């Protein structure tokens, strides 16, 4: 009598392969999400730097001192596109007074903080 060998995977082997692929996918997705959040945070901080530079130029052109209120429409003339930049995470910017740092409304999961050495 002849017996032929059957080649293939058992159900348990397939289950192990699927588990390994799922583990790798979970690691990749968490890294992707963390990278996307960091990228949004850095872009937002860059936008606040641009707003701060526009505020300083506007204040110098109008001979304003620290503590003077800011007119966003006037400052926007010193920004590219004559408009407030858009936060990539969906937040909104507050220009604050002259001499104060602009702020973003995003506070979680990663705060978008400009100034104080946290760039």
Mind listing the pLDDT tens digit for each residue in 7-18? 778 889 999 999
Whether residue 26 is contained in a domain is answered as: yes
Whether residue 12 is contained in a domain is answered as: no
Please report the pLDDT score of residue 117 as a whole number.
43
Model confidence band, residue 115 (pLDDT cutoffs 50, 70, 90): low
Whether residue 29 is contained in a domain is answered as: yes
Whether residue 119 is contained in a domain is answered as: no
Whether residue 111 is contained in a domain is answered as: no
| Domain count within the chain | 1
- Residues 29, 27: Cα–Cα separation, whole Å: 6
Q: Domain span at residue 25?
A: 18-104
Whether residue 94 is contained in a domain is answered as: yes
In whole numbers, what is the pLDDT of the chain averaged over residues? 86
CA dihedral 71, 77, 80, 82 (to 10 degrees): 80
Q: What is the mean pLDDT of residues 72-77?
A: 92
Q: What proportion of the chain, given as a percentage, has pLDDT over 90?
A: 51
Please report the pLDDT score of residue 110 as a whole number.
57
Please report the pLDDT score of residue 17 as a whole number.
95
CA dihedral 49, 55, 56, 57 (to 10 degrees): 110
| C-alpha count within 13 angstroms, C-beta hemisphere, residue 114 | 24
pLDDT at 118 > cutoff 50: no
Whether residue 4 is contained in a domain is answered as: no
Whether residue 6 is contained in a domain is answered as: no
pLDDT at 119 > cutoff 80: no
């Amino acid at each position: 009598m002849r017996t032929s060998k059957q080649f293939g995977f058992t159900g348990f082997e397939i289950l192990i392969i699927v588990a390994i692929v799922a583990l790798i996918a979970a690691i990749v997705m968490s890294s992707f999400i963390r990278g996307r959040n960091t990228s949004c945070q850095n872009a937002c901080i860059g936008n606040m730097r641009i707003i701060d530079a526009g505020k300083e130029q506007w204040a110098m052109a109008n001979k304003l001192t620290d503590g003077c209120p800011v007119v966003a429409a006037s400052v926007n003339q010193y920004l590219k596109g004559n408009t407030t930049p858009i936060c990539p995470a969906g937040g909104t910017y507050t220009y604050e007074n002259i001499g104060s740092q602009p702020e973003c409304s995003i506070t979680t999961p990663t705060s978008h903080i400009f100034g104080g050495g946290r760039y």
